[in-house]
Structure 1
Amino acid sequence: MKLLFASDSFKGTISSDQTIELLTKAAHEVFGECETGGVPVADGGEGTTEAVVKARKGEMVYVDVHGPLMETEHGFYGKLSDTEAVLEMAAASGIPMVPMEKRNPLHTTTYGTGELLKAALDAGFKEIAIAIGGSATNDGGMGFARALGIRFLDEDGNVLSGKGSELSKVHHIDMTGLDPAVKNAHFTVMCDVTNPLCGPDGATFTFGKQKGGTPEILDELEKGMQNYRDVIIKEFGINPDEIKGSGAAGGLGTALKVFLGAEMKSGIETVLDLIDFDQRLRDVDLVVTGEGRTDWQSCFGKVMQGVGDRSKRKGVPVIALCGGLGKDYEKIYDHGIDSIMTTVDGPMTLKDALDNAEELYYKGAVRMFRFIKAGMKVKA
């Protein structure tokens, strides 16, 4: 029997790598000799770079960048081959970098994410995948673009620094200084949201509140974003509101698409392509996946959905070991997941479940594999 383990991390407790270790140990305890293999997986958010680098046996490259408030941060990107690189916005412009009391999308910038991309371009990479989940920003990607040499000018010709409060001041976008390496590279953006740049479903009103935006701040940002959109329409003949995902990451999706011509793809689908998941399914008898909590959202660009769909197309059964179940969790069965087992083994508080996550996961894995072993004895 050949088993493949491909689980998401359990946020704040168990990493994707740890699930592989625990599942491997449990499988050998229950089945004795069996062939096991595992691959770290992420869905395009925080942790994507590390997961892909480990799966591809690549290399982490560390770069000092500016964080969301222009503080010095230690960022990173992943080298996958001589031509391929992967990076994530969360490593330079992520919301955890901003203390709760300082969260205000008027003041944050994507400049550091642009610095990460420039570092990869300077190193000669031509195929670059960019994960844009978990942003602290709502600057329309102005900071990101500025780090690559694009200038945003106000009506007096002054150069803007590139943060949310300056969206309303944009009068002209000067592309002449854009890093020439951009023209020779291909960019794949891991993006699972389809929100436009502006409007009630746009970047500001959909995601701004969680980044510290009050109603007054959001109104100011939305007016600025509309101005930014109108300048782009005037100078590029492109309406960002007609581009699916242009509002992702506080409008960074717009900058990537309009200024760099990037290709937008599902985060989990991009990750599975990068780690050559279909090839790893060859001769596999069973896939084990999972995540911290499974509910209706798991069907929209999450690890379990991606792993399940790919495995189903190859005719490989999939079971999931998850921390807990929420509303409409059973919808995931439509995506190749044949059964789900939870790690919790009795009534307990969330704190107890988190504090004992590793032990619970291992015991849950043993129970799961014992069920499978019993099922193998059942006569059809």
Structure 2
Amino acid sequence: MLTRFAVAPSGFKESLSAQAAADAIAAGVRRVVPDAEVDLIPLVDGGEGTARALASATGGRLVALPATGPLGEPVGTHFALLGTGSRTGSGLGSADTAVVEMAAVAGLSLVPHGLRDPGATTTYGVGELIRAALDTGVRRILVGCGDSGTSDGGAGALQALGARLLDEDGFALPQGGRELIRLHHIDPKGLDPRLAHTELLVACNPYNVLCGERGVARVFGPQKGATPAQVEELSAGLENWAYVLTRDLPVTCDLYGGPGTGASGGLGAGLAALGARLLPRFEVLLDHLDLDARLARADLVLTAEGALDHQTPRGKVPAEVARRAKLNGRPVLALAGTLGEGAHTVPGVDAFTGILPAPMALAEALVRASELLTDATERALRMILLGAGLPRGAGV
């Protein structure tokens, strides 16, 4: 009999936080196994909820402030100052560390559907949050990348930090990724001098690269509202961005195709040009949760995300959970808002199911996501228990 469950989901973009997803799955488990021991392990990947989750895990706090949103208008946002309640191999959980969550100021959820144009959105607010974190005197800033609504290569962030991006005539470029094709020179003299004395870490998906056929504009531009023509425009701009950054700043890494350079619409590349270290996000973010030991104690591991498809093995939460669970021989069930091509090929996932019981409009599915996830968990778990109780056929 299954009695111990580890529930380790990602959030569902623009719908459920990781905590809300974990709560919904747990409710479904308890419908079937009322006395179940359910270990809730909501996971962050650098996107929405990262600053709040790390502040909570370390006994830190959130600092609320206004900053420039992705459309250039002020938005209410925050960064985290970590406490001392937990430490990881990356040095997190230290009181001298701030966490800047780019999704909290430049995320896709902050861009209304009718205004989604990744050539116009900006990461300027990310730079403002980094400056605000510097004002607190921290010695280390972790930038969480994920759920972005931008494709400006981090140009806006560099502008907010004091760099001047100039066209061929010496005029400052407007904000937005479509302007990068006109970039001719970067003047770094105005960069905040405190950056030179602050460790800058970027938690990112190493599979995301800036340029090339798998470059960030081509892979994620359409999801952010780019037309095919805009995808090519953004790709060309990011190529030029990498070229000028490498020429005008003391860059020591490959900005074109280095791991993580495409994170959050290329923010990884922009920050790497300032000396930031780009780190695989799960190595940075998950150690404080004692995840491996908690998965090992479970009879069944349940994970979830908005979409399960061919992209999942490329640094998404369910793939990481499944990989770690399999190190301890634990079975894994994945639930997803949608099932796409390649859903059946995610290594380590033993079974998977979509949460929609019937076709429905996206808007309705987003509103009902918690209910749908609970119901789907119940259905899947009843099937698992039914199968476990059936007699095995001859030769099995």
Write the distance in 2 (CA, Å) between the matches of 1:216 and 1:374.
51
- Shifted more, 205-214 versus 14-23: the winner is 205-214
Asked if the contact 1:294–1:329 (Cα under 8 Å) also holds between the matched residues in 2, the reply is: yes
Per the TM alignment, residue 160 of structure 1 is displaced from its structure 2 partner at its CA by 4.8
Q: Summarize the Cα distance change of 1:196–1:38 in structure 2 as closer, same or farther, 3 Å threshold.
A: same
Per-residue Cα deviation, 1:300-327 (whole angstroms, up to 9, x for no partner): 2222111111111123222233344333
Query: Aligned match of 1:305 in 306, 319, 338?
Result: 319
Name whichever of 347-356 and 127-136 sits farther off. Answer: 347-356
CA deviations on 1:227-276 (whole Å, 9 max, x unpaired) are: 443333333365522423333433322111121332231x4554323533
TM-score, with length taken from structure 2:
0.79
- Letter of the structure 2 residue corresponding to residue 86 of structure 1: V
Match of 1:229 in 2: 242
Q: Report if the CA contact (8 A) 1:89-1:131 is conserved.
A: yes
Query: What is the match of residue 360 of structure 2?
Result: 349
Task: In structure 1, give the amino acid aligned to 2:123.
Answer: T
**1:254 corresponds to:** 269
CA shift digits 1:23-82 (9 cap, x unpaired): 434444433433222021233333433444455564332121111232111112233321
Larger helix proportion of the pair: 1
Question: Structure 1: which amino acid aligns with 2:360?
Answer: T
1:39-188 maps to which residues of 2 (within 5 A)? 39-54=41-56, 58-81=60-83, 82-100=95-113, 102-153=115-166, 160=173, 162-164=175-177, 165=179, 168-175=182-189, 177-188=191-202
2:66 partner letter: D
Quote how far apart the aligned CAs of 1:168 are.
Answer: 2.0
C-alpha RMSD of matched pairs (Å): 3.5
| Residue identity in the other structure for 1:85 | A
Select the residue among 366, 378, 392 that pairs with 1:366. 378
Shift of 1:109: 2.3
TM-score between the two structures when normalised by the length of structure 1: 0.81
> Is the Cα–Cα contact under 8 Å of residues 3 and 36 in structure 1 kept in the other structure?
yes
- The code of the aligned residue for 2:198 comes to N
- Residues 163 and 186 of structure 2 are in contact (CA less than 8 Å); yes or no, is this contact kept in structure 1? no
Out of 2, 8, 11, the position equivalent to 1:9 is 11
3-state DSSP of counterpart to 2:70: coil
- Tell me which moved more, 63-72 or 16-25: 16-25
What amino acid sits opposite 2:154 in the alignment?
G
Q: Which residue of 1 aligns with 2:88?
A: none
Identify the residue that residue 245 of structure 1 maps to in structure 2.
260
Residues 1:363 and 1:189: Cα distance change in structure 2 (over 3 Å): closer
Change (3 A) 1:206 1:71: same
Larger mean CA deviation between 80-89 and 48-57 belongs to 48-57
CA distance in 2, matches of 1:359, 1:213: 32
Amino acid of the residue matched to residue 113 of structure 1?
V
Residues 361 and 104 of structure 1, relative CA distance in 2, 3 Å threshold: closer
Change over 3 Å in CA distance of 1:290–1:227 after alignment to 2: closer
In 2, are the aligned partners of 1:31 and 1:373 still within 8 Å (CA)? no
- Point out where structure 2 has 5 or more consecutive residues left out of the alignment: 84-94
- 1:369 and 1:79, CA in 2 relative to 1: closer, same or farther beyond 3 A? farther
Deviation (angstroms), 1:190: 1.4
Q: 1:263 aligns with which of 271, 278, 281?
A: 278
CA distance in 1, matches of 2:20, 2:114: 33
Aligned to 2:203: 189
1:288 match: secondary structure: strand
| d(CA) in 2 for partners of 1:340, 1:364 | 11
Q: CA deviation at 1:159?
A: 5.1
Q: Report what 1:295 is aligned to.
A: 309
Distance 1:373 1:92, change over 3 A: same
User: Contact between 1:80 and 1:86, CA under 8 Å: does it hold in 2?
Assistant: yes
The alpha-carbon distance between structure 1 residues 292 and 162, as it changes in their structure 2 partners (threshold 3 A), is closer
Task: Name the CA distance, whole Å, in 2 between partners of 1:212 and 1:21.
Answer: 31
